[in-house]
Chains A and B, each alone.
Chain A
């Protein structure tokens, strides 16, 4: 296709230049004009981080073909602080602590700017509705609402502009003060460069071929047609790995690209470096892989049975890790109990959904050091593993952690950095890989889905005599953090309670599903969900208040944990008291007394939402006028 000549006004300057017609406005802004402040988060108009103004209207630039911007006035996040002076709203985001990883923030600032333009007096509930098209994964939104309200009040003169400034710390002690985030100005203005925003001279673009099969033997890979395409510099497979292949947080069972067989849909099989991303994509499509499908196993309980498909030869029972915890004699504890309750609980796989999809650059520096720049949560371990994989001394491997646009455990795995390093070594040029959202979701770790059976025995006065828990988790195709997740899950499973008899078993199991890995709260979320639900079931049966049953069993100073560790100070009772008092909790057994409670709907509770209610009210008012 022929290029189009695009004439537009962008951030107040006339722009007249050729553009590829297949580009989205977002690509044109980011790649052609190097305006990288607005980010790509999903490519589907769902997350809002690419939001810009087109003729003054808030638009998701990933949904707009560049040709539609012909003659338009486009303003990006860079337009708001052009001289370096932040806008009132940006200053309010800084002051309120509204940015964390910062990746959603440029779009959020644009949407908030639009909200206050549409209604300079918008209240908190209207602000929420107007930000409804922008996803933030870090902040929980509360400080974003605070920021928009602060900006609104400063703009309207209800608050002085000094409300945006740092609280004075002249008394010297800065610990314990809500000092403004030092990294916020670069985040609210879009100036911070994440890995996907970085470019290097002579940089090649990387694309990855991924497995369409959950479990299959790789019979052959033919890369000749891909290599024959003009602009393709290198195609790599596991055969190109010079050292001992394998990474993982605990067991190094995952090759940087599938070796001999694929174990999940989306697993990397080959990678291409080419002059541009489109050429690299074409080359990926030209790689011919012959697979011989193998029987898969998708259910962790089935995977533990005799005769199930084996995912890794080293683990013929498909058990990645089993963690036992034993205290006392649980059967004796159940026998002493007045009430024994058993229930099954399960939790699902969830995606980290950090707004920044994986991205990275690699290059060989002047000292022949293989350098990888990526939002890695564990550069220390990654360099150890990569050194072994590429057969270099550790001093010849360097990892630089680029700004992380959200991690939550999902960026602890060295899932793509090995391919980048290898391509940089093969081409002796800088290489860059930027995942799409879909690629990120299908190929990277999830939270371990779990199935838990929990049996608890208590005496009539509410004392827990015994707890037996068995949790089976789907670890997916590779080990990643499974071992550690099972360990933390088991250690913390019984909760902060004195229980004389405990039997806990957690199992991480290999299957042909997307691998599970580290995710904020690392197994403890799954087990404590079961334990804390169970305590309420028992409290109802015994007629005890939920706080009360926890106090009866609470660990106190000097308690011994279920791993037989003696603790010093234990703050649990303080936490129980504080939450009970702050919420003005009305005591009583959890017997579905919601309809009769007297402690609901205080000032520190948000109003409930009825979608469209505000608009309906507006319509009514207009009709009345």
Chain B
């Protein structure tokens, strides 16, 4: 058979939010006229879907529909600091702080209605754009409730800040690296199934099963999107991408020479979402952007070994390297059998 299949696996761990420093983020929330929610925070979308996640969180906390959440963001002069878009920190840092700010805005509104209805605030519920008091006939729309609050001189707003209880690590001269770099850790494991063409050396990754702890999945489709995208980027690094330099000059300055995964290179990704809630933040969420990439390459390299008995130690595992390794292996085996024959 010219094509041989094999499987490999690898595990991973990752820290969520900024490393070995105190991370922080802030947000403002307002329940607006008409009963929509307005969220303002300093940094959001880089494609991962955080705007939708924040809309879901605000909707959940305030009791409106996600499509009735307006997000103003990404402006150092008009929004509170939320630090940066990276470090797998968006859902954890900004998601949690939006939840806290939304809770405060909701509390302002609920307190007004409790006074108006002469009920205790604990008996008031919100959801789906409505606010009501249990065991009463009191039930009005959020828009009406906002009007009530404003007639009493109250604008239902909230603000919050969320920081991590983390430290630097002892990485100075003579240090042992000890410290508390993150407060939330995630773990994951992937299995890869590959097919290696023994004539061309080409590797196809046919499937990846990816199990990742995300704390709590706010939007499962978005989590899958992060896992699928991360795996394909890792396959790019594992099998084909190579930024080449000679004397400081690159020979791969365009996509004709710098080879990227296309639709024909990608595996079927089967995602398994694990929810081990973070006990510190108000939502239980953690993160997924970066950890999704970590186990893929070793899982694929282990699978190639399983298929054809060669291991690539220097990435990428190009067809040329696979073929060379297979040839060397055959030579070694022939030499061994010769010796055995003697």
Q: Say if the beta carbon of A142 comes within 8 Å of chain B.
A: yes
Chain B min CB distance to A165 (Å): 12
A170 to B294 Cα, complex, angstroms: 37
Classify chain A's interface size: 35 or more
Given A135-B262, A492-B13, A592-B309, do A296 and B247 touch, yes or no (CB 8 Å)? Answer: yes
A-B contact count (CB 8 A): 488
Contacting chain A: which of B28-36, B116-124, B139-147, B182-190?
Answer: B182-190
CB contacts (< 8 Å) of B75 on chain A: these are 379, 398-401
Please report the C-alpha to C-alpha distance between residue A582 and residue B249 in the assembled complex, in whole angstroms: 46
Contact with A along B119-144 (1 / 0, CB 8 A): 00000000110000000000000000
Most B C-beta atoms less than 10 A away, residue of A129, A408, A597: A408
Counting from the closest, the 8 A-B pairs by CB-CB distance are: A214-B248, A594-B6, A101-B47, A140-B228, A532-B298, A178-B221, A325-B177, A46-B255
In chain A, positions 470-502 with a C-beta closer than 8 Å to chain B are: 484, 487-488, 490-492, 495-496
- Contact of B7 with A599 in the complex, beta carbons under 8 Å: yes
Decide if B314 touches A590 in the complex (CB within 8 Å).
no
- Is residue A618 within 8 Å, beta carbon to beta carbon, of the partner chain? no
Give chain B interface residues in 71-118, CB to chain A under 8 Å: 71, 73-77, 81-87
- Chain B residues 150-167 with CB under 8 Å of chain A are none
Report yes or no: B268 in contact with A604, Cβ–Cβ below 8 A: yes
Which residues of A in the span 531-552 have a Cβ within 8 Å of any Cβ on B? 531-533, 535-537, 546-547, 550
A202 lies within 8 A of chain B by Cβ:
no
The answer to whether A529 and B315 touch across the interface, beta carbons within 8 angstroms, is yes
Whether A575 contacts B189 by the Cβ 8 Å rule is yes
Complex CA–CA separation, A256 to B74 (angstroms): 23
Instruction: Please determine whether B52 and A579 come into contact, CB atoms closer than 8 angstroms.
Output: no
A169 touches B253 (CB 8 A): no
Q: List 16 A-B contacts (CB under 8 A).
A: A46-B254, A129-B264, A175-B56, A182-B69, A264-B248, A296-B247, A353-B258, A398-B75, A491-B169, A495-B12, A496-B187, A525-B293, A532-B11, A536-B298, A590-B306, A600-B193
0/1 per residue, B265-281, Cβ < 8 Å to A? Answer: 01111101010100100
**How many angstroms between the C-alpha atoms of A611 and B264 in the bound complex?**
9
Query: Scoring A residues 32 to 75 as 1 if CB is less than 8 Å from chain B, else 0, what string do you get?
Result: 00000000001010110000000000000000000000000000
Tell whether A347 pairs with B187 under 8 Å between CB atoms, given A140-B266, A298-B248.
no
Are B181 and A491 interface neighbours, CB within 8 A? yes
Q: Which residues of chain B are near A569, meaning CB under 8 Å?
A: 276, 279
Question: Which residues in B have their C-beta under 8 angstroms from that of A528?
Answer: 10, 12, 294-295, 298
Q: How far is the CB of A194 from chain B (nearest CB, A)?
A: 11
Selected from A47, A179, A347, A599, the residue in CB contact (under 8 A) with B315 is A347
In the bound complex, CA of A412 to CA of B311 (Å): 34
A404 CB contact (under 8 Å) in B59, B85, B254, B294: B85
C-alpha spacing A172/B63, complex, angstroms = 8
A601 interfacial contact with B, CB 8 Å: yes
B201 contacts the other chain (CB 8 A): no
Q: Is the CB of A438 within 8 A of B254?
A: yes
B243 touches A532 (CB 8 A): no
With A100-B225, A520-B230 known as contacts, the answer to whether A571 contacts B187 (CB < 8 A) is yes
* B176 close to chain A: CB less than 8 A: yes
Interface contact B7-A594, CB-CB below 8 Å: yes
Within 8 Å CB of A133, what residues of B? 262
CA distance in complex: A607, B245 (Å)? 36
Cβ B7 vs Cβ A578 within 8 A: no
Q: Is A176 engaged at the interface, CB distance under 8 Å to the other chain?
A: yes
- Counting chain A CB atoms within 10 Å of each CB, the highest count among B85, B232, B290 belongs to B85
- Chain A residues within 8 Å of B264, by CB: 128-129, 132, 609, 611
Pairwise interchain contact B191-A491, C-beta atoms closer than 8 A = no
Q: Does A465 lie at the interface of the complex (its beta carbon under 8 Å from any beta carbon of B)?
A: no
Task: State whether the Cβ of A593 lies closer than 8 Å to any Cβ in chain B.
Answer: yes
A169 to B127: give the CA distance in the assembly, Å.
11
**Which one, A172, A406, A491, A555, contacts B47 given CB within 8 A?**
A406
| A residues in contact with B231, CB < 8 Å | 140
Q: Is the CB of B9 within 8 A of A547?
A: yes
Q: Output the nearest chain B residue to A604 by Cβ-Cβ distance.
A: B270
Contacts of A609 in B (CB 8 A): 204, 264
- Name the contact of A575 in the complex, choosing from B7, B49, B188 (C-beta under 8 A): B188
Q: How far is the CB of A568 from chain B (nearest CB, A)?
A: 6
Q: Does B57 contact A (CB under 8 A)?
A: yes
Across the interface, name the chain A residue whose C-beta is closest to B129: A172
A141 at the interface (CB under 8 A from B): yes
Q: Does A313 contact B (CB under 8 A)?
A: no
Tell me the complex Cα distance, A442–B240, Å.
Answer: 19
In the assembled complex, which residues on chain A have CB atoms less than 8 Å from the CB atom of B291? Answer: 521
Q: Are B47 and A138 in contact (CB under 8 A)?
A: yes
Report chain A residues within 8 Å CB of B1.
Answer: 595
Among A175, A264, A403, A512, the most chain B Cβ lie within 10 Å of the Cβ of A175
Interface of chain A residues 545 through 586 with chain B (CB within 8 A): 546-547, 550, 554-555, 562-565, 567-572, 574-576, 578-580, 582-583, 585
A369 to B268, CA, bound (A): 50
Are B294 and A525 within 8 A (Cβ)?
yes
Q: Cβ of A380: which chain B residues have Cβ within 8 Å of it?
A: 42-43, 76, 81-84
Q: Is the CB of B187 within 8 A of A379?
A: no
